[in-house]
Structure 1
């Protein structure tokens, strides 16, 4: 297990490093940031071209710029925003808890509705409950998130006045973003759980347990679900990372000031210190989620052993 953890940690660090290199290079391929800001902001006069570029390190080759940035990044110095001059580390990290709040809400909705409906659909296969569950999954995977968000705003905010249209601050602000973000994930949870449960419940050891007179609920909770949980566990770990990094649409529609909106604005403004910092956080979240999934495998399934 120690060798496995050390190997995974090594791969994780390389993944983060390569991600930062790629994004840093791509952010500079869009052009010299000075060309953008000298035309849009009057306080950057053309005669300050060389001085401003030297202060930002733009006069050096791209690999040198990256190495300079990397040396500072490990100490929390990610540079300053080209737009407002704020430290990039501060600007990015203050948005992380905001995004994680929405992520937690979406994950709770997905887990509460997806996994139980998947279990019920598998246990009562071919019944009304199964059709309800599969309809819920089909709608969640087929309806676009942006369209569903607009429909929810029109119905529950404009027409009924039950929920606020945007912003954050109260528990009511969490409801619509959590549902929109979590419905697609709940559909994935449902289908994975149902499929895994059906495979286990059709296996020989479950048939043997039935023949011995073991109760239906005991078979479901003690045997079937315990052996079928690997697929939802994997999906859940990647889901948390996907929520944190892929909630740009939901954050934009509901005016949620998260890291996704920050990264999107950085792309539009060619603000590469913010962009590189945000994507570095995304990479860390993905790598950490994958690492935790691999470790949990050995805990959940005793058949899995790492040398």
Structure 2
């Protein structure tokens, strides 16, 4: 019963957040510099054919002469009915455009997160267990480099070395496993540095707890203490950062997608903003809000499974 009540509260708060994001985005689009109708006409018909008559026709067709509140209410009614509208540039349904780009985003996000965890977790654990030694300095320095290097610069270096000089991997495009390697490595290495530093701090904190000293006094082997007590109790902050990273990845890594010509959600949003495709912008932003809300709910529920001390009513 407590779980059902908690889920209901989380879902209600998520709906409120999503509605607020959609409203704010909808209103911001109408206070940006320039005439939305003129920009839409230019994007849809071209600069030469965007006459005043075409602009007036577009205003009547899209209901842009109505109050903003009515326009938002009409759009929200369509969303609740499963209709996000039609992209004013491509002429296709908004959700169809998002669904076409979604597999590429999921592909890149999942692979990048796996790379981040596979590299960052061992680095952080080694640095914590060998605290103050050369291994600690080496792991910490490596993670710091990963954090400090900008994504776009690392991506360009990987393209230069593995794509142009060595010719091992394709430098742009999507569709095969070799196309995934460079963009996923670029994103994963950058995130691995953050994961490693947070893992190190979490493991050091757990190692200083009284129950770890008790376990050592009982004569438990080091690998048992590490696997049964240390890592399990250090997972909560690690899961938090992993969830945040996953949320950002699922919304699309704009810079990396532009560098590697990766057809993801982030690139779709940039194209929509560039072309003033209002319906597509609203659809992408709503998708991003939904993703973040779902990830946050999942993380909150996972907390209660990992640590029995975390109670649902405390999470509220």
* Cα distance per residue 1:219-251 (max 9 Å; x no partner): 111111111111001111111101122500000
1:48-59 matches, cutoff 5 A: 48-59=54-65
Match of 2:303 in 1: 297
**Is the contact made by 2:252 and 2:267 (CA closer than 8 Å) also made in structure 1?**
no
**Is the contact made by 2:87 and 2:93 (CA closer than 8 Å) also made in structure 1?**
yes
Q: 2:138 aligns with which of 132, 142, 158?
A: 132
Match of 2:36 in 1: 33
Match of 1:248 in 2: 254
Count, aligned residues? 307
Q: 1:152 aligns with which of 143, 158, 168?
A: 158
Match of 1:261 in 2: 267
Match of 1:85 in 2: 91
* Cα distance per residue 1:74-127 (max 9 Å; x no partner): 223222222222221211222122111110111010011111211111112223
**Greater mean deviation of Cα atoms: 295-304 or 177-186:** 177-186
Alpha-carbon distance, 1:265 to partner: 1.2
Match of 2:8 in 1: 6
1:202-281 matches, cutoff 5 A: 202-281=208-287
Q: Secondary structure of the residue that 1:165 maps to in structure 2? A: coil
Matched, 1:165 2:171: yes
**Is the contact made by 2:206 and 2:233 (CA closer than 8 Å) also made in structure 1?**
yes
Q: Secondary structure of the residue that 1:80 maps to in structure 2? A: coil
Take 1:38 and 1:228, find their aligned partners in 2: how far apart are those partners?
A: 55
**Is the contact made by 1:27 and 1:272 (CA closer than 8 Å) also made in structure 2?**
yes
Gaps of 5+ in 2: none
Take 1:306 and 1:237, find their aligned partners in 2: how far apart are those partners?
A: 19
Take 2:154 and 2:266, find their aligned partners in 1: how far apart are those partners?
A: 19
Gaps of 5+ in 1: none
Alpha-carbon distance, 1:46 to partner: 2.2
Root-mean-square deviation over aligned CA pairs: 1.4
Q: Secondary structure of the residue that 1:168 maps to in structure 2? A: coil
1:36-115 matches, cutoff 5 A: 36-39=39-42, 40-115=46-121
Q: Secondary structure of the residue that 1:84 maps to in structure 2? A: coil
Change (3 A) 1:306 1:196: same
Q: Secondary structure of the residue that 2:251 maps to in structure 1? A: helix
**Is the contact made by 2:41 and 2:54 (CA closer than 8 Å) also made in structure 1?**
no
Alpha-carbon distance, 1:177 to partner: 0.7
Take 2:171 and 2:142, find their aligned partners in 1: how far apart are those partners?
A: 24
**Is the contact made by 1:76 and 1:89 (CA closer than 8 Å) also made in structure 2?**
no
Alpha-carbon distance, 1:72 to partner: 0.5
Change (3 A) 1:155 1:28: same
Structure 1: which 4+ aligned runs deviate by more than 4 Å? none
* Cα distance per residue 1:144-189 (max 9 Å; x no partner): 1111111110001000001100011111111111111112211111
Q: Secondary structure of the residue that 1:95 maps to in structure 2? A: helix
1:186-197 matches, cutoff 5 A: 186-197=192-203
Take 1:95 and 1:108, find their aligned partners in 2: how far apart are those partners?
A: 21
